[in-house]
Amino acid sequence: MLTKLYLIRHGETEDAQPKRYKGHIDVPLSENGILQMKGLSKYIVQNCSSRLNCLNGLGGLNAVYCSDLSRAVKSAEIIAEPHGLKPIIMPELRERSFGTWEGMTFDEIKQKWPEAFHSWAENPLKFGPVQGESTLDVRDRAMGAFNRIMNDHGSNSLNGLSGLKDVSIAIVSHGGVNRVILCHILGIPLENIFRVEQDCGALNIIEFHDTYPVVKLLNFTL
């Protein structure tokens, strides 16, 4: 059995420039972000065996999961719509809390907390944003959700989908959470989490051959 995972970062948000640490701040998608996700939705449909099968639920996505922040929920709704699905919301998939850094630009943080920012950039596993979540905090909650999702749709699934030869699911989340998941899949130490880029609207495709993952696409954008 093959389980195909479409791991997606939400589209561009309003107030996207200059870049800010939004974290748990609930900002909506921008018009460009909506267009990004509509284009990605079409790409995923085309990636299925055929458009007819996708629309009949035979060759398309079997489930879509997302964070509870509106930028991820709206993105997931756009991805799910052609497959007749409603996103399953999991708060554990939300972005890292950046604490007192939320809403601030990189330059503002560097100016106000130069030592803390430098320490975090050099070793994001050991250090974290001021009053925010550590990388290990994010790993523990996000990987718990990820493992439950994969257990529900893997070869040992008991949820009714296990009779299908192949299963395709989508997870729509955030840059930080996606990096944690990808580091786990690729066997990359979390100290190197920022060596994996996740642009707004990015798509990653991972195929699980039973439990063995193969990354087919990484940080793809239209």
Contact 55, 82 (CB under 8 A): yes
Q: Extract long-range pairs of 25-28: CB within 8 Å, 24+ residues apart.
A: 25/102, 25/103, 26/69, 26/70, 26/71, 27/70, 27/71, 28/70, 28/71, 28/74
Spacing of C-alpha 25 from chain mean position: 17
pLDDT in tens, 160-204: 444 556 899 999 999 999 999 999 999 999 999 999 999 999 999
**What ranges in the chain are assigned the alpha helix state H?**
31-47, 51-55, 70-80, 106-112, 114-122, 135-153, 175-186
> How confident is the prediction for the chain on average, in pLDDT?
90
pLDDT at 15: 83
The C-alpha atoms of residue 101 and residue 23 are separated, in whole angstroms, by 9
Which whole number is the average pLDDT over 135-163? 79
For residue 64, pLDDT over 70 is answered with yes
Most confidently modeled range among 25-34, 48-57, 118-127, 165-174: 25-34
The C-alpha atoms of residue 202 and residue 196 are separated, in whole angstroms, by 12
pLDDT-derived band at 10 (thresholds 50, 70, 90) equals: very high
Q: Which CATH superfamily, name and number, covers 2-220?
A: Phosphoglycerate mutase-like (3.40.50.1240)
- Give me the residue spans of the domains in the chain: 2-220
Residue 41 has which token pair? 């939705």
For residue 29, pLDDT over 90 is answered with yes
For residue 155, pLDDT over 70 is answered with no
For residue 57, pLDDT over 60 is answered with no
Angle at 13 between CA 197 and CA 80, to 5 degrees: 85
Most confidently modeled range among 49-53, 56-60, 135-139: 135-139
pLDDT at 159: 45
Global model pTM greater than 0.85: yes
